[in-house]
Structure formats: structure tokens, C-alpha cells
Structure 1
Amino acid sequence: MKKTGFSRAIGWLMILVVGGCVDPYRPPEVTSPGSYLVVSGFFNSAPGTTSSIQLSRTQNLTDPKAPAVETKAQVTIESASKMTYTLREGTGGVYTLSGVVPLPNETYRLRIRTAQGKEYLSDFVPVNTTPPVDSLSWYVENDGVQINVNTHDPANKTHYYRWEFDETWEYVAAYDSGYELKNKEIVSRTERIYQCWSNFVDKSIQLGSSDRLSQDVISQRPLTFVRGASIKLGIKYSIQVKQTALTKAAFDYYDQLAKITQNVGSIFDPQPSQITGNIHSVANTNEPVMGFFRVGTVESRRIFITKRQLPYWLTETGNFGCLVDTLSVSKIIEEQPGIITFYDRTSYLTSSHYCIDCRLRGGINKKPDFWDQ
């Protein structure tokens, strides 16, 4: 018994000694001052749409500031047949082009000249037509809702897909406020702040391929899972999915990007490596450029899920700590709480502003145009 205890003590001592000898590894790429161009966006071939290209710069992992945007650049799209289209600069390093539809059998490339005189060119790429989203399916499992996407290409030409989605959900505050304090007077509220809508845009890279299948079909590809207790499902929930057809080169680029940015956290995950897109520096071929220029269409589909379609789940609304108090007018002027409603001749029911103003939870009190579809 003593020998076993002594062995354990020695083991713990060795762990502490080894752990104390480990120095943090900070590769040069983490702290180097290099700032490289990042290109996001594509040339949309759908009629009546606006194409946008966003330019920004990479930053060190230790830099707390937001990435810098690339402004005052000259951005053009060129066709193989020598047609040139100039994009206009907007805000935040975003350059847009409207009223131009790429030709189906043409190829195009992106040209960027920065304010510092550096020039970047993409490879010529074809126009990819995206097949429609067949359906968005959902089902209840594991105390939540699993949402999947289904699509196919009857021409058997697409094979490579990317999906992006945004979620919108309706929620309410704990109490409906009918009054507010203005200039030390209690007046009827003119703006309703009880009912709100919040939104989330997924930033992950979601890809799918039918390349190894006999038919170009994507069936029940998982997109997202929503917990049953989530406030998203408390009243009404909507998800819009955007689908894009990719070339094999674009698929490989986003697949590599997803592996090194999303699959992290264990020793078995892919190691960091340089990602090569289809945009290059004209003067310095060794200069890294992040991004992949694409030309094509985007297909979208939206579904709604209401509370009555789901099992009974206790929604985590955040309202459970909301308390009500009865205060006189003088106390309300002094403490300035949120006012719920008139109680009697001299007092009102009150609560915290968080409990009566749904906007304080990150949403807006204007109903989206698509909400009653």
C-alpha cells in the first residue's frame, strides 16, 4: 500500500514538473505585422440583382481591433471577350455592380487595384447556374428541431454546393407596457415595445457534394439544430437558406478553409496551413490573398415553424426573473422604472426596462416584410 501511494506521488510530481517546463508556442504568423488582402463576394448572374465585392485586410490573432477595410480601390470585372465593368465603392470597403448580367457561356475575372497601387487578378471562371432548393425539411429529435436541405440537378452537372442561412424568430417581453415617463410626466406609450423579432446569420461554411453518387442529388443534408427550449421556437421561427453551385476548385477552397477554421480543438484536427484561392498578386506571386472569385446564381428558400406545430417545451425566455412592483407617481419619477400599466388612482404597476422593452434583448419591434407569408 505504501509503495502504491509513493508511486502515485512520484507520478503527480512528474506531471507537475513536465507541465511547468512547457513554453507557449507563438508562431511568427500570429505576431507578424503582415496584412493581406481578403476578398469576399461574387458576380451574381441573376437578372435584377446587385453584385458586391467586399475588400478587407487580415490582422494578427493578438490584435483586438476589427479588421481594416480596403477603401478607395479600383475594382473591375472583365470578360474573356474584353468587356470591362466597373464596381462603385460604397461603405465599409464594399464595391457594387448593378444592371449587368453575365453571359452564360462567358468566363470572367476580377481585377483589383488598391489605393497604394498594388494590383490583384483572379483566374477566369465560368458562370455557374444553381439549381433550385427542392425543400427544407425538419423533424423533432433529441428535444429539439433538426433542419435539413434537399436539392438535385436534373442535368447532372452541378455536383458541388454551398449553403448559407439566416434565422428570424418572434419573441415578447415579460410585460406589455402601456405607459412611459416623459419630462417627469407619465403618458400613454406611442410605440409598442412588447413584441420583437431577432435575427441570426450563420457564418459557418456548409458544403455538400454528389460527386461520388450516380445522380446529382443531395438528400437530407443537415443544416442546423435548434433546441426545443430555445427562445427561437417560443412563438414563431423562420429560416431562409441560400444555395450556391460551386466549381470543383471553389469547393476544394471552401472545404480546406472550413477544415482549418471550424474543425479545431483536438490533436486530430487538420493543422494550420496556407489556403490558396484563385486571386493572386500581379507583382508578387508569393503574397497570400484570401478569397475565391465566383460567378453564378443563388437560389433561396424559406420555411416557418410555429409553436403549435411542436411538442410542449418550456421556453427559456429570460423572463423568469422579472418582478412587478407598485409605485406611486413620485417614486416613478425618482426611480424611473419601466411602467406596465395603471394600477389605481395614485400608482402604477412597474418592472425593469429589460422586462418591458423587447428591444433590449437584441431584437427590433418592426415586423419583417416576409413574416406573414
Structure 2
Amino acid sequence: MNRQKLIGWLCIALVGGCVDPYRPPEITSPASYLVVNGFFNSAPGTTTTIRLSRTQNLTDFKTPAVETKAIVTIESQNKAVYTLKEGTPGSYTLAGVTPVEGDTYRLHIQTRGTDYYSDYVPMVKTPPIDSVSWDVVDDGLQISANTHDPQNNTRYYRWEYEATWEYYSQYYSSLELNGNRIVSRQFPVNRCWNSESSTNIITTSTTRLSQDIVSKHPLTFIPGTSIKLESRYSILVKQSSLTKAGFEYYDQLAKITQNIGSIFDPQPSQITGNIKSSASATDLVLGFFRVGNVETKRIFITKSQLPRWYTFTGLEGCVTDTLGLKDILDAKPAILTEYLTEYITSSEYCVDCRLRGGVLTKPAFW
């Protein structure tokens, strides 16, 4: 290699070694903004819960820090003040108090030497959920919400949900290894329940309709091959009514967090709710305080109600093997049952349903 080529390669190596990854200030900024999650619950006998936490950089993979030792109050425009108590760190509750219809309320948070106030907001009553319906669509299950307000007063709606499903392991195991002995299994591990909460923001408005009716608003779609439909599925739908300002906040938040994928989608932008710092406009607060109730409805769907879809369980490769005690002590597989002088075995993943994320405890509502 001649001298000029050698110098050229050395320059390239040096330049490459000196290039740092680009880290925009937006993702490395040390600023940590307050996040407020909760509402003043108007349902009799319920507890109001406000949760406080802090934002973190996109480069920080730790669990977001909760905001502890804050003073949290709800104040009415008629000068009533209710103080929330901190129980679980970052979680503040108020029991035995409900808002008065016709009054307006604001949230007041004192933390780290700064006062944060929400706008005064009225109580908005949520009408009942008429039904939670489901339809077979495109080889899957579409679950939807139906509701209406005969007074035509609601107009703005939001939904959240908690889904739970029952599923089974590939094989039932009646035996297990305890030290060097094979004994009866203490409890079955073939039947589990798993769950998830909604993550997308689901809202709609009926302002363009002559009547305040919501018919089959989509909540979630489940492919027919999903393990969620293997045996039995349940969904608890939670419905809230919003003010126009609340609807616009969640609608904008959905657009910038759920619909970003091309140059034609809404571009990232700064969005805050109705809570602000009294000290500085640059001290942002994320969240929207509202006053009202939540209506709920739960439905169950069993496999026998659905088309004969093939479920992809992740256990398609499961097989069994027949082993003696010596081989079992060496390999430590899951043991299904005794067979003559040996045992039928398989992998733990094919036997213990907990290894696919669920729990053995049956939910109280099941």
C-alpha cells in the first residue's frame, strides 16, 4: 500500500472515530415535568385518586419517578377546600366527598416550592353505556361501544378498557420433580388468566349529529388467531364524558402520539392540558383535570360463540418424550404422568401457562 492510500485510510478511521451520535436537546434535556393523572369522582361512595409523576428523557429506560410529599387539594369556586392524602407513593386520595352539581372545581398541587393550578371545571355527568357489542369482521372480532344521552347534553365521550382472557397450556401435568423424587404436583399449572389495559386514546364527538347517539364506536380489534380468543375473553369498558376543552386535549394528544408515521400525519408538537404552573409558563404540566363519573359495563365472549378460527398459541412445536428417572434428573423436564416404568415429559413452556405471562389466580369477576 503506498503512502497516500495509507494516509487516506487513517483519516477515514480518525473521522469515523470522532463522530458522536446526534442527540437532540429535546431527548437529553434534564427538565422533568409534572404529570397529573386523575379526576374528581362524582359517583356516590367512590374515592377520588390523583396520581403524580415526572416525565423522563427518551434515553432514560427507568420507571418514571413518582411525585411524593406533594400537597394536593381540590378547591371549589365557592371556597370549599378538600385535601387529598398520600397513601401509595405518588398516589393521593379523597374519600367521602363528591362534587356539588352546579359548582366548579380546580386542582391545586404544591410541590418542590411551586404551585400548580388547573382551570375551574364543571361537573359533567356521564350517561350509562347502552351496550358493548361485538361483530365478526375480516377474520377477527371488532368490539364496540354504544351509548346515548336523551338530553343531548354530553356530546363528547372517551373510553378506556381492561381486557382479561383465559388460556391453557398444551399439556396437563400431574407430577413434578422435588429434589431427587417425583411427586404429585401441588396445584395445576395448565389454566391461566392474562390481562391488559387500553393504551390508545379512544374518543368521539356527536356534535355534528342531530341526536346525541353513539352507535358501534370501535374500541379494539382482536384477530381471530389471537390467544385472547382461545377459551374465554372478557372486557370491562369504562366510559367518561368530557367538556369540549377536554375532548380537544385528548383528540390532539391522540393525533400526535398515535397517528405519526408519514409526512402527511400530524407532526410532533407541544401539548399541555388545563393545569399550569403559577411560577413559569415554561414549567409544563401534562394532564387534564376533570370532574365527573365513570360508567362501566363488562361482557364475556366464549370460543363457542365464534367461528372455528385456528388459534396461534405459540405452542405449535410442543412434543412429548418418555424418560426414565435418571434422564429426568439430568434434563429436568416437566413431567406429565407416569407411563409403565417411565414418565411422559415435555418442556416447562408447554406445561406451565405462567411462562406465557399469565397468572393462576382466577379473577373475582370470572
TM-score by length of 1: 0.90
The answer as to 2:255 corresponding to 1:272 is no
Q: 1:245 aligns with which of 235, 241, 251?
A: 241
The alpha-carbon deviation at position 172 of structure 1 amounts to 0.2
Structure 1 equivalent of residue 145 of structure 2: 149
Say how many residue pairs are matched: 347
Q: Secondary structure at the match of 2:299?
A: strand
The alpha-carbon deviation at position 159 of structure 1 amounts to 0.3
The alpha-carbon deviation at position 78 of structure 1 amounts to 1.3
Structure 1: distance between partners of 2:307 and 2:21: 49
The answer as to 2:312 corresponding to 1:316 is yes
Map 1:1-373 to 2 at 5 A: 27-114=24-111, 116-344=112-340, 346-371=341-366
Structure 1: distance between partners of 2:286 and 2:129: 29
Name the amino acid aligned to 1:145. L
Q: Secondary structure at the match of 1:308?
A: helix
Structure 1: distance between partners of 2:240 and 2:91: 21
Deviations 1:304-346, CA, capped at 9 Å, x for gaps: 11111111111101121111111112222222211111112x3
Structure 1: distance between partners of 2:64 and 2:138: 39
Structure 1: distance between partners of 2:269 and 2:22: 16
The alpha-carbon deviation at position 91 of structure 1 amounts to 2.4
User: Structure 1: 5+ residue runs without aligned partners?
Assistant: 1-22
The alpha-carbon deviation at position 95 of structure 1 amounts to 1.3
Name the amino acid aligned to 1:361. R
Name the amino acid aligned to 2:171. Y
Structure 2: distance between partners of 1:27 and 1:272: 14
User: Structure 2: 5+ residue runs without aligned partners?
Assistant: 1-19
Deviations 1:189-220, CA, capped at 9 Å, x for gaps: 12111111110111110001001111111111
Structure 1: distance between partners of 2:174 and 2:82: 54
Structure 1: distance between partners of 2:177 and 2:45: 47
Q: Secondary structure at the match of 1:365?
A: coil
TM-score by length of 2: 0.91
Structure 2: distance between partners of 1:349 and 1:48: 55
Q: Secondary structure at the match of 1:249?
A: helix
Structure 2: distance between partners of 1:184 and 1:51: 54
Q: Secondary structure at the match of 1:241?
A: strand
Structure 2: distance between partners of 1:319 and 1:84: 57
The alpha-carbon deviation at position 274 of structure 1 amounts to 1.4
Identity of aligned residues (%): 63
Name the amino acid aligned to 1:178. S
